[in-house]
């Protein structure tokens, strides 16, 4: 851990972020970070509770002179996306994030940084531990499992919070005020298949690596390569031209991350070895040209491998490759009412096929519920044709924008006053917890904002130091301006 981070301003925020990043906190495995935040609240002698799923709520009374202001809910999520480069030796279950500073940016060494949403969590911790920052009564809500299903927000019961205004600190551009987002649904196709001994006598490993990846909502409009789709393209071409046999495919990792890597093992006859290598080389040249702007570090390699004991049945192999080819990926429809906003999309996130079983995972998003289900059915149809079992889970609603909400008006005018120019008030294609929280807290006005964070959900994630300072000053001034109310 680079101690330089602890000396940066605002010191309280960066120190809390460093402490938080020392605690392993993958989605679905938040026990340690829940205990960490619970102990933090109790150590401050503030009312602290943990609900039945693990969401932590810490309440702090208003500072002197602000007792008559509206109570504010400050909300961020505790979990983080765990992604690392293939050549990085790192165990997310046991190690804290190794950070370093380069210019105006904080990075992690070969892994995700956890600024999404660790900067938000650290900001709230800084307010809770402060003794000299003016603020109204605060209800700090730390949710779990935002990145892989939003089950914390989905399970939060009504009646635990009294505040009628919620500040979500999970936006990744410091000139944006987010007031709406897409909903989502997880689509999973599973099944088994027949396998057989290989007929060929030469085995190869094909690897697609070095793609840019990124957030499957916030970055889906950028046209970045999907390793699962590229691998499938290569494999289908090889089966058509050289009758190769496929032993396994392992691509992608998390639903909300655009897949950066995929590895497959194939078998070919000795007489076709040269032709297989030539075909892969030709496809590599084409694909690299197609993705030279979005994925300049893309690499596709083919190397000799140990002969596998089993390969896929030929009939299943053909069905699998064609179903994956048909599966929609990327933008499905743009919003006709808001310029530049993706309305619906799908991320073909995970393809794991080996040892007679397959598991294919997608994350489907839309700001229009009916279209979300239409896209779900389009994806499901492709895999039903190959006999897959389909499961739909992790369903969460979108967040309908309320541009006339008082908190939106307050923060819009305050941004111009503090920084000159206008904030970009928008809706986003990424999933935020606000829409879900609104189901049990109807009428609560909400807004999301944060500092500049780039490369979220990938090892390229970084947080801008000067932007964190801007965000922090904006947050503090917003709290000062909260109006009188119940």
Residues 254 and 153 in one domain: no
Q: Which of 30, 139, 145, 146 is catalytic?
A: 146
Structure confidence by residue, pLDDT tens digits, 190-213: 999 999 999 999 999 999 999 999
154-163, 337-346, 347-356, 383-392 — which is least confidently predicted?
Answer: 337-346
* pLDDT at 485 (0 to 100): 84
Domain assignment present for residue 329? The answer is: yes
Q: What is the dihedral of CA 417, 421, 427, 431, to 10 degrees?
A: -70
The whole-number average pLDDT for the span 408-415 is 98
Query: Where does 258-328 show beta strands of DSSP type E?
Result: 262-268, 299-304, 311-312
Continuous segment of H or E residues that includes residue 321: helix 314-326
Which residue from 74, 109, 37 is spatially nearest to 461, judged by alpha carbons? 109
Percent of the chain with pLDDT over 70: 99
Counting Cβ atoms within 10 Å, is residue 393 exposed (0-12), middle (13-18) or buried (19+)? exposed
- Tally of domains within the chain: 2
CA–chain centroid gap for 291, Å, is: 22
Reported as half-sphere exposure (CB side, CA atoms, 13 A), residue 165 has a value of 24
Q: Is the pLDDT assigned to residue 64 strictly greater than 70?
A: yes
Q: How far apart are the first and last CA of the chain?
A: 44
Res 337: pLDDT: 83
Look at residues 130, 129, 31 and name the one whose alpha carbon lies nearest to residue 78: 31
Please report, for residues 27, 63, 188, 251, 334, the alpha-carbon distance to residue 349 in angstroms, rounded to integers and kept in the order given: 16, 46, 10, 8, 21
Q: What is the pLDDT of residues 17-36, one digit of tens each?
A: 999 999 999 999 999 999 99
Contacts (Cβ under 8 Å, ≥6 apart) of 118: 17, 20, 21, 80
- Which residue in 30, 79, 145, 172 is the catalytic one? 79
Average pLDDT, the chain: 95
- Using a cut of 0.85, tell me whether the model's pTM lies above it: no
Q: Name the token pair of 338.
A: 């808001």
Confidence at residue 430, expressed as pLDDT on a 0 to 100 scale? 86
Position 486 in a domain: no
Could you count the other beta carbons within 10 Å of the beta carbon of residue 294? 15
- Are 305 and 205 spatial neighbours (Cβ–Cβ below 8 Å)? yes
**Is the same domain home to 208 and 251?**
yes
pLDDT at 3: 84
**Distance from C-alpha of 383 to C-alpha of 387, rounded to nearest angstrom:** 7
Q: Which of 396, 419, 434 is the last residue of a domain?
A: 396
Instruction: Compute how many other C-beta atoms are within 10 angstroms of the C-beta atom of residue 399.
Output: 26
Stretch 335-364: mean pLDDT, rounded? 95
| Structure tokens given for 248 | 């396994």
CA distance 304 to 39: 53
Give me 199's structure tokens. 């007929």
Burial of 336 (0-12, 13-18, 19+ CB in 10 A): exposed
Active site residue 147: no
pLDDT at 480: 97
CA atoms of 226 and 257, how far apart (whole Å): 10
| 15 within a domain of the structure (yes/no) | yes
Over residues 412-425, the mean pLDDT reads: 97
Report the distance separating Cα 152 and Cα 433, nearest Å: 9
Q: Which residue has the tokens 């789709």?
A: 229
Residue 333 and residue 302 share a domain:
yes
Q: Which two tokens stand for residue 28?
A: 């679905």
Judgement on whether residues 417 and 470 belong to the same structural domain of the protein: yes
- 317 near 245, Cβ under 8 Å? yes
pLDDT over threshold 60, residue 1: no
Residue ending a domain, among 396, 430, 453, is 396
Residues 114 and 178 in one domain: yes
Catalytic status, residue 146: yes
Residues 249, 115 share a domain: no
CATH number, residue 425: 3.40.630.10
The SS3 of residue 21 is helix
CATH of the domain at 243: 3.30.70.360
What was the pLDDT predicted at 338? 82
The pLDDT-based confidence of 284 (bands split at 50, 70, 90) is: very high
Q: pLDDT tens across 204-250, in order?
A: 999 999 999 999 998 999 999 999 999 999 999 999 999 999 999 99
Distance CA 304, CA 307 (A): 9
Residues 149, 32, single domain; the answer is yes
Q: Are strands 138-143 and 56-60 parallel, antiparallel or unpaired?
A: antiparallel
Looking at the predicted structure, is the pLDDT value of residue 62 above 60? yes
Same domain (yes/no): 380, 428:
no
For the cut 80, the answer to whether the pLDDT of residue 276 exceeds it is yes
Q: Residues 23, 59: one domain? A: yes
Boundary of a domain, candidates 345, 374, 396: 396
Cβ 367 vs Cβ 176: under 8 Å? no
**CB half-sphere exposure, 333, CA atoms < 13 A:** 16
> What pLDDT is recorded for position 486?
62
Model confidence band, residue 86 (pLDDT cutoffs 50, 70, 90): confident
Question: Does 342 fall in a domain?
Answer: yes
Q: Please check whether residue 227 is in contact with residue 316, taking contact to mean a CB–CB distance below 8 angstroms.
A: no
pLDDT at 2: 66
pLDDT tops 80 at residue 81: yes
- Same domain for 123 and 11, yes or no, is yes
Structure tokens at 59: 């309440």
* Residues 261 and 358 both lie in one domain: yes
C-alpha span between 412 and 49 (Å, rounded): 33
Lowest-confidence segment of 146-155, 274-283, 308-317 by average pLDDT: 146-155
Q: Kindly state whether residues 373 and 409 are assigned to the same domain.
A: no
pLDDT at 52: 96
Size of the chain in residues:
486
Q: pLDDT at position 277, please?
A: 96
70 three-state secondary structure? coil
Domain ranges, residue 277? 185-396
Helices (H) and strands (E) in the chain, counts: 11, 23
How far is residue 451's CA from residue 454's CA, in Å, rounded to a whole number? Answer: 10
């Amino acid at each position: 851990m680079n101690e330089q981070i602890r000396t940066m301003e605002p010191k309280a925020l960066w120190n809390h972020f460093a402490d938080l990043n020392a605690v392993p906190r993958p989605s679905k495995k938040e026990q340690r970070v829940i205990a960490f935040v619970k102990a933090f609240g109790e150590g401050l002698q503030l009312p602290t509770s943990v609900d039945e799923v693990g969401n932590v709520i810490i309440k702090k009374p208003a500072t002197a002179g602000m007792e008559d202001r509206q109570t504010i809910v400050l909300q961020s999520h505790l979990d983080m996306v765990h992604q690392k480069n293939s050549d990085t030796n790192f165990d997310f279950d046991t190690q804290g994030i190794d950070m370093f500073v380069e210019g105006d940016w904080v990075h992690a060494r070969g892994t995700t940084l956890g600024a999404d949403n660790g900067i938000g969590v650290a900001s709230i911790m800084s307010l809770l531990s402060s003794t000299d920052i003016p603020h109204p009564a605060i209800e700090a809500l730390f949710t779990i499992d935002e990145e892989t299903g939003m089950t914390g927000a989905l399970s939060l019961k009504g009646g635990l919070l009294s505040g009628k205004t919620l500040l979500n600190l999970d936006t990744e551009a410091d000139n944006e005020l987010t007031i709406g987002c897409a909903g989502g649904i997880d689509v999973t196709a599973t099944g088994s298949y027949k396998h057989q001994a290989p007929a060929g006598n030469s085995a190869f490993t094909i690897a697609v690596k070095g793609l840019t990846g990124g957030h499957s909502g916030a970055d889906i409009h950028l046209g970045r390569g999907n390793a699962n789709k590229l691998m499938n393209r290569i494999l289908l071409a090889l089966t058509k031209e050289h009758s190769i046999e496929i032993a396994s495919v392992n691509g992608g990792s998390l639903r909300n991350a655009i897949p950066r890597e995929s590895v497959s093992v194939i078998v070919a006859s000795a007489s076709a070895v040269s032709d297989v290598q030539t075909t892969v080389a030709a496809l590599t040249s084409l694909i690299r040209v197609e993705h030279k702007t979005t994925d300049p570090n893309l690499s596709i390699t083919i190397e000799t491998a140990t002969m596998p004991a089993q390969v896929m049945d030929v009939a299943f192999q053909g069905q699998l490759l064609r179903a994956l080819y048909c599966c929609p990926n990327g933008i499905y429809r743009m919003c006709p009412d808001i310029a530049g906003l993706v309305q619906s999309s799908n991320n073909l996130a995970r393809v794991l096929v080996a040892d007679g079983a397959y598991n294919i995972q997608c994350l489907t998003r839309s700001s229009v519920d009916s279209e979300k289900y239409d896209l779900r059915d389009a994806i499901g149809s492709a895999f039903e044709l190959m006999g897959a079992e389909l499961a739909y889970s992790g369903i969460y609603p979108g967040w309908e924008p309320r541009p006339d909400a008082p908190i939106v008006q307050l923060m819009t005018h305050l941004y111009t006053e503090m920084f000159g120019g206008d904030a970009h008030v928008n809706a986003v294609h990424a999933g935020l917890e606000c829409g879900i929280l609104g189901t049990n807290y109807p009428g609560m006005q909400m807004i999301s904002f944060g500092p500049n964070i780039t490369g979220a959900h990938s090892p390229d994630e970084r947080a801008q130091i000067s932007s964190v300072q801007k965000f922090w000053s904006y947050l503090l001034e917003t709290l000062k301006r909260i109006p009188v109310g119940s």
